[in-house]
Every structure is written in C-alpha cells, then in structure tokens.
Amino acid sequence: MPPSLRSRAQTAASLIDASLDDCGFVRAPGRVNLIGEHTDYQDGFCLPMAIDLDVIVAWRTHPDDDVVVASSAHTDRATFDRSVPPSTLEPAWARPAAGMAAELADDHDIRVGVALGVDSTVPIGAGLSSSAAFEVAVGLALATAAGSALTGDALALAAQRAEHRSTGMPCGVMDQMASVHGQAGHALLLDCRTLGVAPVRIPDDLAVVVVHCGIPRTLVGTEYAERRAGVEAAAARLGVPTLRDAQPEAVANDPLARHVVSENRRTLMFVAALRRGRVDELGPLMLASHASLRDDYEVSTPALDVLVDSLMEAGAIGARLTGAGFGGCVVALTPASRAEQIADVACDHYRSRTNQVPTPFVVAAADGARRLDPTIESGDR
Ligand code: GLA
C-alpha cells in the first residue's frame, strides 16, 4: 500500500529537520492528458486530468529571506536567494523552485525566507508533469508562508513562467492549469485561449491506465521548441493570431498545422462523446490523435507506437501517447474491471517485442493543489 499522507508529510518535514507540528503543508498533483496534445501553446483545447500522484511540500519560515529546498529524491540540498538566476542554480533539480520564487517575488511581491521539504510520488521525467506539480506546490507553499491568497489561474501562470525561466522549456499552460484546477472524478476541458476550465465527468466504469515505455523522454526541450516555432510560423503565414483561428482547408497541406487544427476538433468531439455516454466513440478519437502525433507532428517513437498497439490488442478501449512525446508515457482507457489485467498483458507483449521495461500506473482523477492538514486528513491511498 502506498504510504499515507501523514507519513509522507512526516518525511517532508523531517527533510527540513522539523516535525509535523512545526510546519505548514501543501500538495499539488501531476497530470495525464486524455486528448488535445500540442494544442495548448496555440490557444487550443486539451483534456488533462490531475492524478493521484503528487508532490507534498512541508514549509517553515525562518528569519533570513533565503530559500532552502530539500527533497526525498535527492541527497543534496539547495539554498538560494532571489539574486541567483534560476537557470544556473546548483543542484539543478531545484531550479523550478528557484524559478517559482523569482516569479512570485517579481510579479506578486512575495518574498519570504522559508525551508521547503519535498516528497513526490510523481515519477520524474516521465511526462506526468512532475515539474509542474513541483512548481505549483512550491508556489502555494511560498504564498501561504507569506500570508498571500495567491491561487487559481495566477498560480498556474506563475508556474508556467517559472518553467520557462528555470529550464528554458517553452511549455504551454496545460500542466500547471491541471495541477491547480484538478477535480476528483473529472477530466478538465481547458480552453487555453480564455483559460476556461470545464470539468467533464469520467464514468465510474472506465479506468485510466498510464504506461511508461521505459525509455526516458529525449530531445524534449529542443524538439518541443522546434515544433512550437513551426506552428507559430504556420499561423503567421496564414495571417491568424494562432492556429485556433485556422480552418481545416487552410492547413490541409501543412502537417504540423494540420495536427493542431485536427486535434482541437478531436478534443471537442471526445468531450461531446463523454458527455453523451458514447464510450464507443472515444477509442477511435484517441487512436486518430496518436496517428496524427506520429505522422503529422512527428513526436512519437517506435516504442510508443508498439505500446499503443500492445494496449489495444490487450483490450483497451483507446490508447495514445500523452504529454510532449519523444519517449515517456502512453495513456489508455479501459473498462474499470479489467484495468490491471489489460495493463499486465499489454506490458508482457510490449516487453517481449521491444526488450524495454514498461511501468504501468492505474491512475484516478484527483483534486488540484491545496493546503493540507496532515494531522486531521487521513489521505491513505
Ligand atoms: C508538455 C508541455 C505542455 C503541452 C504538452 C503537449 O507537457 O509542458 O504545455 O504542450 O507537452 O501537449
């Protein structure tokens, strides 16, 4: 059984030499995207859900105004003040925290001396937004420690800028919005132009299975930036602010733009099917999304393609790569009663075809970032 919330909070507190009673606590979840990939930075639609893998941060203020970060995943601590450029901080794992501290200081005048103890169950670098969850949790901890009510879209946007500033990855806003606004039992239809969030119920008889292909994401930063520049150029050629405004006929001969425009349409169709209870329509839309990411956007890998096939052959309703691509994870929908079995069979097939070691997770849609009181919350998961 996974460790309880209380014992994870104790771990986080002990990292900063404190006990439960000495600290405040926050948590922020990772996310998986059901459909709507590589659309967020073109004002498009996507359908992520926050998941029950998360980052817990214990915080305690101190008199200096520097920030100390310790993590159960790393042996070294980071200490920084606001004069250090976040992208140069050592140890590098703490850069997103420095990015968040810098954003909150610059844009929200939040400057507080604090020690942060971090315990995460989001696998690092797997495409489940370990970095966004880290940034959102650190941001909420810093804001709470400073007595600020910063939350919601402002917190998500600060976390997105922190990612740009600390890692150079020009991400969209999907991951941070999902981590902030998640709702148990629901995926979130995000309109990345208006930042509108519409919860969409996931039927109880469906399970969401995520499988890591065993190959870490490679080239994510550079290839991602190239794709992003490519669709920005396509929008400029068409004379529209973003591809959200482009018609299918206008992009018929441009594979990158064609992916974005068709993916927006698939996302809205997927949501309509979920709302009408048309589970039979979900699988073909997920497979079409994967094919478009593979053939038009060129962000899949042979291993991800085999993993999608293995999940479908094992009985999944639909499957597709999730997140940026170039390695990382596939997401599948399965009947809830057969989730574990389908994941096991698919992993066996995949292992024998590729010699890679996959890791399956059956995830549940969880609430977004919030403050915690581990002394009264049971949180056993
Ligand atoms: C990464 C980015 C997101 C989004 C996805 C692709 O996860 O952080 O903003 O662009 O890739 O959909």
pLDDT digits (tens, 9 = 90+) for 193-213: 999 999 999 999 999 999 999
Report CA(365)–ligand 1 centroid distance (Å): 18
Report the CATH fold assignment for 5-199+365-372. Ribosomal Protein S5; domain 2 (3.30.230)
CA of 349 to the centre of ligand 1 (A): 28
Full-model pTM: 0.96
Which tens digits make up the pLDDT trace of 199-256? 999 999 999 999 999 987 766 678 999 999 999 999 999 999 999 999 999 999 999 9
- Using the mean position of ligand 1's atoms as its centre, give its distance from the Cα of residue 261 in Å: 16
Q: pLDDT (tens digit, 9 = 90+) per residue, 348-379?
A: 999 999 999 999 999 999 999 999 986 656 55
Q: What percent of the chain has pLDDT over 70?
A: 97
Confidence of residue 124 (pLDDT cuts 50, 70, 90): confident
Mutate to test the pocket of ligand 1, among 35, 38, 231 (most ligand atoms within 8 A of CB): 38
Hey, what CATH topology would domain 203-363 get? Alpha-Beta Plaits (3.30.70)
Q: Which of 54, 175, 254, 296 is catalytic?
A: 175
User: Measured from the CB, is residue 324 less than 6 Å from ligand 1?
Assistant: yes
Are domains 5-199+365-372 and 203-363 of this chain identical in fold? no
| 128 C-beta closer than 6 A to ligand 1 | no
**C-alpha atoms less than 13 angstroms from C-alpha of 300 in its C-beta half-sphere:** 22
Question: What residue spans define the domains of the chain?
Answer: 5-199+365-372, 203-363
Residues 6 or more apart whose Cβ sits within 8 Å of residue 367: 29, 50, 182, 183, 184
